[in-house]
A and B are shown apart, each in its own frame.
Chain A
Amino acid sequence: MSSVTLTDLHKAFDGNPVLHGFELEVAQGEFVSLLGASGCGKTTVLRLVAGLEEPDRGRITVGDRVVCDASKGTWIPPEARRIGMVFQSYAVWPHMTVLENVAYPLKVAGVARAEREAHTLTILERVGLAGLEGRRPAQLSGGQQQRVALARGLIMEPDVLLLDEPLSNLDAKLRIRMRADIRRIQKESGFTVIYVTHDQDEALAISDRLVIMEEGVILAVGSPDEVRDHAFLSPEAEHEERA
């Protein structure tokens, strides 16, 4: 289990600054949501932690390991960070079965076939996909693909799991069920979660702590009870977001 510390992160795309001096500390086993409108920089923070983007400046620490320090040239590539990630588009590989998709991280790590299949089947059961291991992604519903992506993120038992708008492509009813499932699994295993969303109801329901962002700046940080009355979460703001 690991904490995540982001120190003085700077990132610009094509000269447009997205983050300037972003700081955040996520405790071990904590469930933190980054909440904000699209373009506020929340996904960039997530991709920096993952190692899919490189900061122009700043340092990222996972547990007691510095995974990135721009001033010292320290850089651990994403494949070596042992961080799980669930993508907004699911990123389920269309040319592999459900089993092959979920077992892939174990395969890369060199786990023997029998062992990784057994392990995969238990994970599939945990996310509610028992019996579907032979299917192709094209034969799955959106919610099922989402579960495949979640299972793949969990199978390495990562210390940190990153979720990028994981529920935004699902219908309302499924969304509520999935977020309960994610929270349950996290509480069972105790890993650290950074969760990106633009849906404030979702963030309030699922998180230990919320980080409200706008244009790369943190407007407020706190438990759901602490930030519930923040101006950003006014009904008007929500209305705008929906529109």
Chain B
Amino acid sequence: MRRRFEPRFWIALAAVFVLGILPLVLVLSRGVSSGAFWETVTSEEAVDAVLGTLQLSAGTTLLALLIGAPLAWLTTRTDLPWRGFFRSMLTIPYIIPPYIAAVAWINLANPEVGALNSLLGKGALDIYSMTGLTWVMALSFYPYVFLTVRAALLSADPSLEDAARMSGARTWRVLRDVSLPLMRPALIASGGLVFMVTASAFGAPALIGNAARLDFLSTSIFDALTSGLGGMAQASSLACVLLALAVIPMFLRARHHAVLTGKASRPTRVRLGRARLPIHLLTLAFVAVAVILPAVAVALTAFMRVAGDFSLSNFTLENFAVLERSDSGSAIWTSLWLAAAAATAAVVLGGLVAFLQVKTRRRGRHLLATLTAVPLAAPGTVLALGLILVWTTPLKLVNTVWILLIAYLAKYVALASRAIGEGLGTVDDALPEAARMSGAHGLTLLRTIWIPLVLPALVAGWFLVFMPCFSELTMSVLLVGPGVDTVGTRLFEMREYEAPTAASVLATVVLALVVVTNLLLRLLSRGRYGV
């Protein structure tokens, strides 16, 4: 019954390897074998960059935990009013690219013309600082903590906490002795993830860090590469260090307690009592400052002649003329069709990987799935470096749109394969078997049985890839130069060289598209995906 040679497995493995693994291997070998490896990584600039990355990542992780965990507890275990509203609002930053948040906070807290500084007095807040950047990163990444801890609390048996109360423990005591230990694995896992994505982040650290003269590994890699001669060797050496840093948290493993549970009962809501109103107002204020204010700042600045001036005469539609200029207008189209093409390719390749992993018992299927997920976890700067090494000779794809298509597919195919794998997992094996007994096989089987059965997951997978591709910045600015423009590269250039109002127009477009696509995904998947 089982064939020895399965071309589809080897095709999938070869594609995954060439797309995402080979580039990383080449960066590593190039970096370590470079004669100047030790010289590069022990240079003063490199040490500064490592320290900067560590400081930013540690600070962001700490702040994200301090924001995400209490909010998760408040919205699952207490009688806080408007819990459903808070859950939705607090999840929104999850889908907004951090560099958009950076643009927003530069509009708000730029020391010269920031909107908040016009209210609070010039120079009251300075976004161009390590504190400012940490704040922006934490507001972008706390949803990882919020969602993970919420999931842990929702699946934990609430009678564990009830039992502590029946033992005489008050709210704080229950939190300390029972809830917190139960949340520990979720805190460590999500904290590690925040550390990784912060260390890997490029857009926001570059936009804010440049003006603040702060160096990070990801920005140093970009600087090295764009500096020209010998830059590739130096960038590869730095990339090795970044890869090592971003991998550290993966070795942090919490001791998981065996789950001992019977029937999970209705959770008992902790009565916040006299603290209920203050906590409610505090949570509202956080939503207003962290979620609503930045979105409003971006959207309003897009209509301003001069950023930060709120007089009525300052508002205009002129900025949107930027979209008619060929470079920005075509950048949006390029991003749209690239994201659509990458999403389509990712559904095909990801679907094959998911099928092999979930519906066959072939040896090596788990290895295939793991290899598919590696590029998603790898920093975008490192992956982009590797792609340059792979696609310069003999195929000269660097600086063309095709390298972007390859990069997006390599990085995000795991999002599609994961969603499709979940969908396939719910299909009873008897359904395709019955079709085979009816004479269907090959493409007929695929077209008449598999695709209709997992269509919702295919659609979800498509959108899950489309969204990050449309707004992708990190790999795009490394892989293409002038001549090829995407939304991300245009925004990056504008923010550095042009008026902030023009950048805000593009940011508004990204924001609108992300929100609309997300709503569409939520509708199509009946609330299973999207926020």
B167 in contact with A87 (CB, 8 Å): no
In the assembled complex, which residues on chain A have CB atoms less than 8 Å from the CB atom of B271?
77
Q: Are A95 and B266 in contact (CB under 8 A)?
A: no
Is A105 on the interface with B (CB-CB < 8 A)? yes
Of the listed stretches A61-69, A78-86, A194-202, name the one at the interface; the rest are far from the partner chain: A78-86
Q: Are B259 and A94 in contact (CB under 8 A)?
A: yes
Instruction: Report whether B159 and A89 are in contact in the complex, using a CB–CB cutoff of 8 Å.
Output: yes
Cβ-defined contact, B260 with A138, below 8 A: yes
B164 touches A138 (CB 8 A): no
30 contacts across the A-B interface (CB closer than 8 A): A47-B268, A50-B162, A77-B271, A78-B165, A79-B165, A79-B170, A82-B168, A87-B163, A88-B159, A88-B263, A88-B265, A89-B261, A91-B157, A91-B159, A91-B163, A93-B163, A94-B182, A94-B257, A94-B259, A94-B260, A95-B257, A104-B169, A104-B177, A105-B168, A108-B164, A137-B258, A138-B260, A152-B163, A156-B168, A169-B262
Q: Chain A residues with Cβ under 8 A from B162's Cβ?
A: 50, 52, 78, 85, 87, 91
Asked if B527 is an interface residue, CB under 8 A from chain A, the answer is no
Q: Is the CB of A89 within 8 A of B169?
A: no
B-side residues, CB < 8 A to A, are: 157, 159-160, 162-170, 173, 177-178, 181-182, 257-266, 268, 271
Give the residue of A138, A152, A169 whose beta carbon is less than 8 angstroms from that of B167: A152
Question: Who on chain A is nearest to B170 by CB?
Answer: A79
Smallest CB-CB A-B distances: 10 pairs: A89-B262, A94-B257, A105-B167, A138-B258, A91-B163, A91-B159, A87-B159, A85-B166, A95-B181, A78-B165
Please give the number of chain A residues whose Cβ is less than 8 angstroms from any Cβ of chain B in the complex: 36
Contact of B157 (CB < 8 Å), options: A43, A89, A137, A169: A89
CB distance from A241 to the nearest CB of B (A): 17
**Distance, CA A107 to CA B182, complexed state (A):** 19
Interface centre among A13, A87, A169 (most CB of B within 10 A): A87
Residues on B with C-beta less than 8 A from A50 are 162, 166
Q: In the assembly, what is the distance between CA of A227 and CA of B508, in Å?
A: 72
Q: How far is the CA of A85 from the CA of B169 in the complex (A)?
A: 14
- Rounded to whole angstroms, the CA-CA distance of A138 and B165 in the bound complex is 22
Specify the main secondary structure of chain B where it touches its partner.
loop
Assess the B169–A108 pair: CB atoms within 8 A.
yes
Contact status B160-A93, CB under 8 Å: yes
Let me know if A3 is at the binding interface, CB within 8 A. no
Contacting pair A13 B266 (CB below 8 A): yes
Which chain B residues border A108 with CB–CB below 8 Å? Answer: 164, 167-169, 173
Q: Does A109 contact B (CB under 8 A)?
A: yes
Shortest Cβ gap from B176 to chain A (Å): 11
A: residues with CB less than 8 A from B are 13, 43, 47, 50-53, 77-80, 82-85, 87-95, 104-105, 108-109, 137-138, 145, 149, 152-153, 156, 169
Rounded to whole angstroms, the CA-CA distance of A94 and B256 in the bound complex is 10
Q: Which residues on A sit within 8 Å (CB–CB) of B173?
A: 108
Which residues from A are CB-within-8-Å of B177?
104
Please name all residues of chain A whose beta carbon is closer than 8 Å to the beta carbon of B265 when the two chains form the complex.
Answer: 43, 88-89
Closest Cβ of chain A to B448, distance in Å, is: 39
Establish whether residues A84 and B166, one from each chain, have CB atoms under 8 Å apart when the complex forms: yes
CA distance A84 to B173 in the complex (A): 18
**Smallest Cβ distance from A203 to chain B, in angstroms?**
20
Q: When chains A and B are docked, how far (Å) is the Cα of A87 from the Cα of B178?
A: 16
Q: What is the distance, in angstroms, from B401's C-beta to the closest C-beta of chain A?
A: 53
Across the two chains, which residue of chain B brings its CB closest to A94?
B257
In the bound complex, CA of A89 to CA of B259 (Å)? 11
A residues near B169, Cβ cutoff 8 Å: 79, 104, 108
Point out the residues of chain B lying under 8 angstroms from A104, CB to CB.
164, 167, 169, 177
Is A94 touching B165 in the complex (CB atoms < 8 A)? no
A87 to B261, CA, bound (A): 10
Q: Are A52 and B165 in contact (CB under 8 A)?
A: yes
A156 to B260, CA, bound (A): 24
Alpha-carbon distance A105/B173, docked complex (angstroms): 11
Would you call B178 and A89 a contact (CB within 8 A)?
A: no
Using known A-B contacts A87-B159, A138-B257, determine if residue A93 contacts B178 with beta carbons closer than 8 Å: yes
Q: Is the CB of B263 within 8 A of A89?
A: yes
B405 to A: closest C-beta gap in Å: 48
- Which residues from A are CB-within-8-Å of B167? 79, 104-105, 108, 152, 156
For the complex with contacts A53-B268, A152-B167, 7 further pairs of A-B residues with Cβ separation under 8 Å are A52-B166, A77-B170, A80-B168, A89-B157, A94-B259, A108-B168, A138-B258
Interface centre among B159, B177, B259 (most CB of A within 10 A): B159
CB pair B166–A90 under 8 Å, yes or no, is: no
Instruction: Write the chain B residue with the least CB distance to A145.
Output: B260
A47 to B177, CA, bound (A): 22
CB distance B168 to A91 under 8 Å? no
Minimum Cβ distance to chain A for residue B319 (Å): 49
Shortest beta-carbon distance from A139 to chain B in Å? 9
CB-defined contacts of A105 to chain B, threshold 8 Å: 167-168
The reply to whether B168 and A85 contact each other, CB–CB distance below 8 Å, is no
The answer to whether A85 touches B258, judged by C-beta atoms less than 8 angstroms apart, is no
CB distance from A28 to the nearest CB of B (A): 20
CA distance A53 to B159 in the complex (A): 12
Q: How far is the CA of A93 from the CA of B178 in the complex (A)?
A: 7
Q: Which residues of A are found within 8 Å of B166, using beta-carbon distances?
A: 50, 52, 78-79, 83-85, 153
Taking the nearest CB of chain B, how far is it from the CB of A169, in angstroms? 6
- A79 with B168: CB separation less than 8 A: yes
- Give the complex CA separation of A87 and B160 in angstroms: 9
